[in-house]
Amino acid sequence: MSSTEIQNLGEEPCFRLEHLPGKSPHLAGKASPQVNNRWNAPEVTANGVHDIEDRILRITGYYGYKPGYSSHRREEGSESHAETPVSETSGNGTAYQTCANTVLKVLGGLLVVLCVSSSWVGTTQVVQLTFKSFSCPFFITWFSTNWNILFFPLYYSGHVATTREKQTPIQKFRECSRLFGEDGMSLKVFLKRTAPFSILWTLTNYLYLLALRKLTATDVSALYCCHKAFVFLLSWIVLKDRFMGVRIVAAIMAITGIVMMAYADGFHGDSFMGVALAVGSASTSALYKVLFKMFLGSANLGEAAHFFSTMGFFNLIFISCVPLILYFTRVEHWGSLSSLPWGYLCGVAGLWLVFNILVNVGVVLTYPILISIGTLLSVPGNAAIDVLKHEVIFSVVRLAATCIICLGFLLLLLPEEWDTVTLRFLTTLADKKTEEHGEELTESSVHTRSRSRANGAVSIPMA
């Protein structure tokens, strides 16, 4: 065979489709299998282009054809069609998810608000029912504080049920002990950090229960709302927080409401003593919160659960002697243990524990301002029960004092940047009104000119 014939045999199979008469194209040696393989299973190039598709477009003379044009166009089109819906879908999905999360957070917050106000109203009302058969406020305070021990076990149960990374109770307890310092919990830290807060906690609840023996639940719950004003004053003086004029006004309103509440019955008798006890409860509560912020800072849910359980242990170990002293001195004599109203006592302790859990969990799950609103809603809740069930008649002075205290409480909930945000909103609103007024003037002038031209009137400019 000549070199020319060898070169002809080595050419592309697509150029050897012509054959001599009487001879089969399959007799062309090794070229025929290559032709069959190419047409039965088109070869794919590195960029995914099928050669047969490119050849058809080249033979038919497709306008603007380039090798791989059709496949590249299809791929680019598929990529653009794929990217555009995905980006739009992802954007819409993100906005929808954000909206859904906000709605769920608000709905959850409203549910927490109702639960917080209901538990606090229930605690106050059950305490007054307990006093009818068992008038021992310090024993009730001690017994209810012991239930704080259950806070950390309940938190750990929720942690195990909601997380994949399981930790033993000891590991979780040590992790949450970082609230007291890097060294964790020790006997010295336990006594140094827990003792003052436990004493303030006990005083707050004890004075609150004493006030309930003198005043109605509505008056006591309204006076207790003054603790928000006391927290601001102490934070401003001790913690050097930012000065806000509106909060000073709110504090003055709270003090005015206290004076009016005491004046309602003439500054004498049980009413004045009840007001003093309720204000004392609000003051110790404010001192507790300011000292907690000063020495311990902010705490997450696990650390708060650890702290409450620690206070419960301190109360059980060190404060249990106080009810015994009051019992033997007959200041609070309760008789035998079987004669105690355990149903009411467990009801008060359980509702108090639920209230504390909801306050700390609600801050994590929803907006903190809603928790404060839940506490404020206990005032109208107690007022409704006092009027409908106990047939209490409120004087005009008491109603005015309650409204002033509640209004001051709401002013204290305003954020620090409320004035800047309000001015910005008013400026934006004024700009929009100016633009709308300008557009109305433009439209009216255009309408007037069109009418004057239609009537043949000519406007003469004034010099």
Q: Residue 91 pLDDT > 70, yes or no?
A: no
Q: What is the mean predicted confidence (pLDDT) over 197-216?
A: 94
The pLDDT assigned to 129 comes to 93
- Between 258 and 3, the more confident residue is 258
| pLDDT the model gives residue 394 | 85
Q: What is the pLDDT of residue 348?
A: 95
Higher pLDDT, 35 or 300: 300
pLDDT at 317: 93
- Side chain identity at residue 84, one-letter code: T
Q: What is the pLDDT of residues 412-422, one digit of tens each?
A: 888 776 667 77
Residue 273 has pLDDT above 50, yes or no: yes
Residue 123 pLDDT greater than 90, yes or no: yes
For the segment 42-68, the average pLDDT, to the nearest whole number, is 48
What angle, rounded to 10 degrees, do the helices at 245-263 and 217-224 form? 150
Q: Tens digit of pLDDT for each residue in 156-191?
A: 998 888 888 778 888 888 888 888 777 777 788 888
Residue range 271-291: mean pLDDT, rounded: 92
In angstroms, the CA 415 to CA 239 distance is 18
Q: What single-letter DSSP state applies at residue 24?
A: -
- Residue type at position 119: S
Q: In 90-128, which positions are buried (b, 16+ CB within 10 angstroms) versus exposed (e)?
A: eeeeeeeeeeeeeeeeeeebeebbebbbbbbbbbbbbbb
pLDDT digits (tens, 9 = 90+) for 221-243: 999 999 999 998 888 888 777 77
Contacts (Cβ under 8 Å, ≥6 apart) of 144: 205, 345, 348, 349, 352, 353
For the chain, give the number of residues: 463
What mean pLDDT do residues 56-82 have?
Answer: 45
* Choice among 85-94, 95-104, 330-339, 435-444 with the minimum mean pLDDT: 85-94
Name the band, by pLDDT with cuts 50, 70 and 90, for residue 78: very low
pLDDT of 395 over the 50 cut? yes
- The structure tokens listed for 279 are 């204000």
Domain spans of the chain, in order of start: 19-81, 112-415
The rounded distance, in Å, linking the Cα atoms of 113 and 116 is 5
Distance (Å, rounded) from C-alpha 135 to C-alpha 329? 15
How many CA atoms lie within 13 Å of 428's alpha carbon, on the beta-carbon side? 6
Q: What is the pTM of this model?
A: 0.71
Q: Is the pLDDT of residue 347 over 90?
A: yes
Give me the pLDDT at residue 435, please.
72
Q: What is the pLDDT of residues 207-219, one digit of tens each?
A: 999 999 999 999 9
Task: Confirm if 325 and 79 have CB atoms less than 8 A apart.
Answer: no
* Band of pLDDT at residue 97, cut at 50, 70 and 90: confident
Please write the tens of the pLDDT for every residue from 296-320.
777 788 888 999 999 999 999 999 9
Better-scored residue on pLDDT, 291 or 50: 291
- Tens of pLDDT, residue by residue over 447-460, are 555 444 444 444 33
C-alpha 301/C-alpha 172 separation (Å) is 12
Dist. CA 344–CA 307, nearest whole Å: 26
Q: What is the mean pLDDT of the chain?
A: 77
What pLDDT was estimated at residue 47? Answer: 45
- How far is 211 from 217, CA to CA, in rounded Å? 9
DSSP type of residue 243: P
Q: Is the pLDDT of residue 10 over 50?
A: no
User: In this model, does residue 374 exceed pLDDT 80?
Assistant: yes
How much of the chain, in percent, has pLDDT values that exceed 90? 37
Token pair 């065979």 is at which residue? 1
Which pLDDT belongs to residue 443? 60
What does the pLDDT read at residue 54? 55
